[in-house]
Structure 1
Amino acid sequence: MILDSAWVVAWLTAAADAIAEQAPTLNELDREIGDGDHGENMNRGFEAVRAALGDGAGGSTPSEVLRAAAMKLISSIGGAAGPLYGTAFLRASDAVSGRDELGSRDVVELIDAALRGIEERGHAVPGDKTMVDAWSAAATAARAASESGGDAREVLQAAAGGAEQGAASTDALLPHKGRASYLGERAVGHRDPGAVSTAVILRAAAEAAA
């Protein structure tokens, strides 16, 4: 599959499917260290994206579709996740602006830009037990795959695997941001729900390109 606007639509649709399926798990993870509504909020946001894409919203380039999705996520996801994911997709949109098709380096730029947006918006860094841990691991894996000659699909596969490893790494971390930080040591041993939803979304990106 060519990584063009049709791929972005396929990615976001697959992400909506996966988030809907994983919403109860995400809620349970969030219940352990947060408000317990991360899955519900993410599902509402991605269903809004799905509806918008079904109504013809988006555009003719990957950047335009990503931007349309970002605006829906910002307006539909409650809590901190809306601005964070919205910023991620807005920055990703900017990173690939003007390109009709995306290659391996474009994918790396897209993920890097999303990561930077989340870091700046949330004031978090790797190791804080947030979604940044998943995005950072994804960016590192994507860059390594691209530099070793991988094509765009291989870069996406690497990013998805990196995100999953990054999410798993949050189990052992002490939280420094968000509601989980109030729990201190009691949060150790629990996985960050935002890192898990990141892994779900990036795995959907890889599967949509397969």
Structure 2
Amino acid sequence: MSDNAARRLSRMFYRISIAIEAGKDHLSDLDGAIGDADHGITMSLGFMAVNAELAKLNLDNTLPSEVFAVAASAFLDAVGASTGPLYASAFRRAAQALKKDECLSPADQAAIVEAMTTGIKERGKGQRGDKTMLDAWVPATEAAVNARARAAGGPEMWNSILEAAEAGANSTRSMVAARGRAARLGERSLGHMDPGAASAVIILRAMKDTFDEGEREKSGPR
């Protein structure tokens, strides 16, 4: 199972990279309104580096937790900006969470989302309402935890995760930034979506698509 799980996570990171690359210009435009206009480029470089390192692995002999550990190191090496340490911490936390099971059940998928959010919070010392990526990640985690508590199936859980993340990202338009470069703008940051929250939605959507695909493969043709 862990062999299949490692390959699925590798496909997940590939999907994330493709999606981030496709949205790179939009993310940088969002960042241009309240930051340095480089968020899309930074995220694209980070995930391209992750995929380059994962391509070197023998996934038949790699544990899922190791995939996240490799992703953490690769992202941090490629991205020196604040986003690098944040996502490196997220991936390290996910690796630790998976070591308990090395499986990708819906409960484990919820644990990945929860662990990634914990890593970002610990590293960035932020919270929901600061107009950061946490405004997408925190509600996504709440949805994941609630879905796990009611033993929801994977597709139902991911629908609720993505819906919560999208709503959270959209809510940043009405926030004044309290952290990051955007905080320097004060009231002028109003009306703009946080680019980190926007990229978090892209990441979570790619995760959803990967895990939904896994569910369809398990159920087979109808």
> What interval of TM-score do these two structures reach, taking the shorter chain for normalisation?
over 0.9
Unmatched tracts of structure 2, length 5 or more: 213-222
Which runs of structure 1 show a deviation greater than 6 angstroms over 4 or more consecutive aligned residues?
A: none
Q: How far off its partner does 1:147 sit?
A: 2.1
* Counterparts of residues 92-107 of structure 1 (less than 5 Å): 92-107=94-109
| Number of the residue aligned with 1:188 | 190
- Match for residue 76 of structure 2? 74
Higher relative contact order (CA closer than 8 Å, sequence separation 6+): 1
Q: Secondary structure at the match of 2:131?
A: coil
CA distance in 2, matches of 1:117, 1:124: 11
Which protein shows a greater Rg? 2
* In 1: Cα distance, 2:6 partner to 2:101 partner: 10
Match of 2:150 among 130, 141, 148: 148
Cα contact 1:107–1:156 (8 A) shared by 2: no
Give me the TM-score of the superposition, normalised by structure 2.
0.89
* Counterpart-to-counterpart distance in 2, 1:57 and 1:181: 44
TM-score of the superposition, structure 1-length normalised? 0.94
> CA offsets, 1:54-80, max 9 Å, x none?
222776222110110111111112311
Aligned to 1:133: 135
User: What is the deviation of 1:86?
Assistant: 0.7
Deviations 1:3-30 (A, max 9, x none): 7212211110000000000000010000
Letter in 2 for 1:27: S
For 1:40, the equivalent position in structure 2 comes to: 41
Q: Percent identity?
A: 38
2:26 is the counterpart of 1:9: no
Q: Where do 1:166-177 residues align within 5 Å?
A: 166-177=168-179
1:198 to 197, 200, 207: 200
Moved more, 100-109 or 192-201: 100-109
Q: CA RMSD in A?
A: 1.8
